[in-house]
Amino acid sequence: MGQRNQFVITARGEIGTIEGPKENETKYGKFMKANFLPWCGSFVNFCASAVDLKIPNCVSTLAGAKAFEKQGRFQKAEVAVPEVGDLAFFDFPADSLDRISHIGIVARVDAEKGIVWVIEGNTSPDVKGDQRNGGQVCQKKRAYKVKNSGKFKKSIPVFIVGFGKPKFKD
């Protein structure tokens, strides 16, 4: 089994983990020496470290995206060809931050529809909760293309702005 698959399997094994007892208190934050801070990036770095995958520090998701860009390993969502194990970077317009503010690990891709399933730390299990500070590890269905549904089904909103492409050993 290759490093890419190990990375996703590690992330999948964390689904259901909830922060606490204090807000933003997690083993991921503790691991990255960023406990009590929003922890989606710490979650990604924790999973990468568990399989000896070298990626930029993503505690600051914006800095993580910029590091992937600097390495020439970032694809903007509308032109991306995402793969399992890629890192999805998000900007949620309703979160009052007009920048990349969330990250997750791509677990499955439906390129025809422009949809990925992403394992995310510090999100909400439903669409009503806080998507970038929801306190749980969840797998979410997310769109990366604007037209992502068929004739009879409404498109889902696009919050993914791009994908970081780690260098896997396999």
pLDDT band at 6 (very low <50, low <70, confident <90, very high): very high
* CA–CA distances in Å: residue 5 to residues 72, 105, 107, 113, 165: 23, 11, 9, 23, 14
d(C-alpha 135, C-alpha 38), whole Å:
9
Q: What is the pLDDT of residue 146?
A: 80
Domain boundaries, the chain: 3-164
Q: How many CA atoms lie within 13 A of 34 on its CB side?
A: 18
pLDDT band at 151 (very low <50, low <70, confident <90, very high): low
Q: What is the pLDDT of residue 46?
A: 98
Which fold, 3-164?
Answer: endopeptidase fold (from Nostoc punctiforme) (3.90.1720)
pLDDT tens per residue across span 75-134: 999 899 999 999 999 998 777 677 899 999 999 999 988 999 999 999 988 877 778 788
Prediction pTM value: 0.94
Q: What is the pLDDT of residue 1?
A: 77
Mark 97-106 as b/e (b = at least 16 C-beta within 10 Å).
Answer: eeebbbbbbb
Among residues of the chain, what percentage have pLDDT more than 90?
Answer: 76
Which residues are CB-contacts of 51 (< 8 A; sequence separation ≥ 6)?
3, 6, 7, 10
Average pLDDT over residues 44-69: 97
